[in-house]
Amino acid sequence: MHFSPSQSEASRPFLTWQRIIDWAQAHYRERMFNKDERIPTRSGLLYLVHRGAVRLVGTAQISATITNASDEETQGGIEDAFLGFVGSGLPFEIVAQSPFTLQAYAHIDQTAIVWMYWHDLDNWPHFRREVLDAFRYQHQRKLLWLSTLGQRRTVDRLLGFITLLVEEYGESTDRGYRLPYPLTHAQIGSAIGSTRVTVTRLMGKLRQKGLIYVEDDNLICLPYSSPKD
């Protein structure tokens, strides 16, 4: 398994970034959010995570079934799905689209968000190119994510999902790579089409097999070498 350092960090020219942050602050285009606070977004605007981390969530307002109590896991129809993080220094945008809506939440306290119109980037053509490349990279990551969600067994989807998340966002530690943000079992379940209860059970299985481990604040980690190697 190959883990690559965060590409955005390496490729971001610090000076341009600082100039954009200065510009945004001078134009009152920065705002701070607390953990789990929703970030109001409009289609057509571009958002940059200055500090902290953003959690993207999708809501499906489509259902093949009129909700009834006979299904074992009926929960009222509308479900929120965890769609990934946007880390510091990275862009996101939200294009509203029925019958699904996308929303952004601050994932940790003190998350600072800067926003701008796309045409504001006319002043920084290189930075625009970087933003577009970041979306290009994100697109590839989401294709990998979809690959694991196509797997039929929930435990495979779970391990694939964790692997992709840690691969993308993980920090190096003594024993392995650690996801720097906590994630609840309900949030994991919402991403892989499963329930909190099932995720808890399967996470136990993966830990027993040594495929994952968990550190202090519920941070998920992958060991450097798989126990099967």
Residues within the interface to a copy of itself (CB under 8 A): 1-2, 56, 58-60, 62-65, 71, 73, 75, 79-84, 93, 95, 97-100, 102, 129, 132-133, 135-136, 138-140, 142-153, 155-160, 163-164, 189-195, 202, 205-206, 209, 211
Please, which residue, 26 or 66, has the CB nearer to a copy of itself?
66
Q: Nearest-5° angle of CA 207, CA 147, CA 193?
A: 60
Instruction: Report the SS3 class of residue 219.
Output: strand
Type of residue at 50: H
Please, which residue, 110 or 210, has the CB nearer to a copy of itself?
210
- CB of 113 closer than 8 Å to CB of 54: yes
Nearest to 55 by CA among 164, 156, 181, 147: 181
State the Cα–Cα distance between residues 95 and 69, nearest whole angstrom: 34
Please, which residue, 14 or 65, has the CB nearer to a copy of itself?
65
Please, which residue, 27 or 42, has the CB nearer to a copy of itself?
42
Type of residue at 183: L
CB-based contacts of 38: which residues, under 8 Å, 6+ apart? 103, 104, 105
Instruction: Report the SS3 class of residue 149.
Output: helix
CB of 214 to a copy of itself, least distance (A): 16
Residues forming a β-bridge with 219: 215
Residue showing tokens 């993966």: 206
CB of 213 to a copy of itself, least distance (A): 14
The separation between CA 134 and the C-alpha centre of its own chain, rounded to angstroms, equals: 14
Please, which residue, 26 or 227, has the CB nearer to a copy of itself?
227
CB of 90 to a copy of itself, least distance (A): 12
Nearest to 116 by CA among 14, 23, 16, 12: 23
CB of 37 to a copy of itself, least distance (A): 20
Please, which residue, 25 or 200, has the CB nearer to a copy of itself?
200
CB of 145 to a copy of itself, least distance (A): 6
CB of 198 to a copy of itself, least distance (A): 9
